[in-house]
Structure 1
Amino acid sequence: MDTAQLRIFVHVARRGSFAAAARDLDMDASAVSRAVAALEAELDARLMHRTTRAMSLTEAGQAYLARVEPILDELDRARDEVASARAEPVGTLRLTASVAFGEACLMPLLAEMRTRFPRLKLDLILTDTNLDLATERIDMALRLAPDVRADVIGIRLFATRYRVVASPDYCAREGAPRTPQEVGKHCAIVFGLPDFRLRWMFRRDGQVEEVAVRGDIAISSGLAIRRAARDGLGLALLPDWLVGPDLATGTLIDLFPDYDITATSFDTAAWLIYASRRYTPKKVRLMTKFLRERLGRPG
Structure 2
Amino acid sequence: MDWDKLRIFHAVADAGSLTHAGDTLRLSQSAVSRQIRALEESLGTTLFHRHARGLILTEQGELLFDATSTMARKLESAAARIRDSESEVFGELKVTTTMGFGTLWLAPRLIKLYDRYPDLKIDLMLEERVLDLPMREADVAIRMKEPSQADLIRKRLMNIRMRLYASPEYLERSGTPTRLEELSGHRLICQNPATPQVTAGAELSNKLLSYDIPSSLTVNNYFGVLQAVLNHIGIGVLPDYLTADFPFLVRVLPEIESVDVPVFLAYPEELRQSRRVAAFRDFVQEEVIAYRRRQSDVITTAD
Same-fold status (TM-score > 0.5): yes
8 A Cα contact 1:89 1:119, kept in partner:
yes
CA distance in 2 between partners of 1:90 and 1:281 (Å)? 14
Whether 1:269 aligns to 2:262 is yes
Instruction: Measure the CA separation in 2 of the matches of 1:188 and 1:68.
Output: 48
Letter in 2 for 1:231: N
Q: Is the 8 A contact 2:165 2:237 kept in 1?
A: yes
Please tell me the residue identity of whatever aligns with 1:130: R
Residues 80 and 218 of structure 1: CA distance in aligned 2, closer, same or farther (over 3 Å): closer
The CA deviation string for residues 63-108 of structure 1, in whole angstroms up to 9 with x for no partner, is 6744873686267437735862x22233222323444433332334
> Residue 194 of structure 1: SS of its match in structure 2?
coil
Displacement of 1:238 = 0.4
Bigger mean CA offset, 102-111 vs 147-156? 147-156
Which residue in 2 is equivalent to 1:289? 281
State the partner residue of 2:300: none
Instruction: Determine helix, strand or coil for the equivalent of 1:217.
Output: strand
Tell me, yes or no, if the aligned pair for 2:48 and 2:55 is still in contact at 8 Å.
no
Q: CA deviation at 1:243?
A: 3.9
- In 2, Cα distance between the equivalents of 1:82 and 1:50? 39
SS of 2:245 mapped into structure 1: helix
Aligned-residue RMSD, C-alpha = 4.7
1:130 aligns with 2:123: no
Structure 2 partner of 1:165: 165
Q: What is the number of equivalent residue pairs in this alignment? A: 273
TM-score by length of 2: 0.65
**Using a 3 Å threshold, how does the CA distance of structure 1 residues 161 and 61 change in structure 2: closer, same or farther?**
same
TM-score normalised to structure 1 length: 0.66
Greater radius of gyration (CA) = 2
- How far is the alpha carbon of 1:241 from its aligned partner? 2.0
State the match for 2:70 in structure 1: 69
Q: Which runs of 5+ in 1 are unaligned?
A: 203-208
CA separation of 1:288 and 1:174: change in aligned 2, threshold 3 A: same
* CA distance in 2: counterparts of 1:255 and 1:115, whole angstroms: 37
Tell me, yes or no, if the aligned pair for 1:40 and 1:47 is still in contact at 8 Å. Answer: no
What is the alpha-carbon distance in structure 1 between the residues aligned to residue 159 and residue 253 of structure 2? 18
Q: 1:245 corresponds to which letter in structure 2?
A: D
- Between the aligned partners of 1:41 and 1:224, the Cα distance in structure 2 is 55
Matches for 1:137-286 after TM superposition, within 5 Å: 137-143=137-143, 145-150=144-149, 153=152, 154-194=154-194, 201=204, 210-211=207-208, 212-213=210-211, 214=213, 216-246=216-246, 248=247, 250=248, 252-259=249-256, 261-262=257-258, 266-274=259-267, 276=268, 278=270, 282-286=274-278
TM-aligned CA distance change 1:159 to 1:79, over 3 Å: closer
Q: How far 1:132 sits from its partner (Å)?
A: 4.2
Between 45-54 and 91-100, the greater mean CA deviation after superposition: 45-54
Contact 1:77 1:281 in 2 (8 A): no
- Cα shift readout 1:140-171 (whole Å, capped 9, x = no counterpart): 3333x334353873543221211101122322
Judging changes above 3 Å, is the alpha-carbon distance between structure 1 residues 54 and 226 closer, same or farther for their aligned structure 2 residues? farther
Q: 1:226 to 1:120 in 2, by over 3 A?
A: closer
Matched to 1:228, the amino acid is A
Residues 156, 262 of structure 2: 8 Å contact kept:
yes
Checking the alignment, whether the CA contact within 8 Å between 1:100 and 1:221 is kept in structure 2 is yes
Q: Distance in 2 between matches of 1:103 and 1:65?
A: 34
User: For 2:187 and 2:227, how far apart are their aligned partners in 1?
Assistant: 15
Q: Which has the higher strand share?
A: 1
Residues 83 and 139 (structure 1), Cα distance of their counterparts in 2 relative to 1, 3 Å cut: closer
In structure 1, C-alpha distance between the alignment counterparts of 2:202 and 2:76, rounded to whole Å: 52
1-side partners of 2:69 and 2:226: how far apart? Answer: 48
Of Structure 1 and Structure 2, the greater helix share is in 2
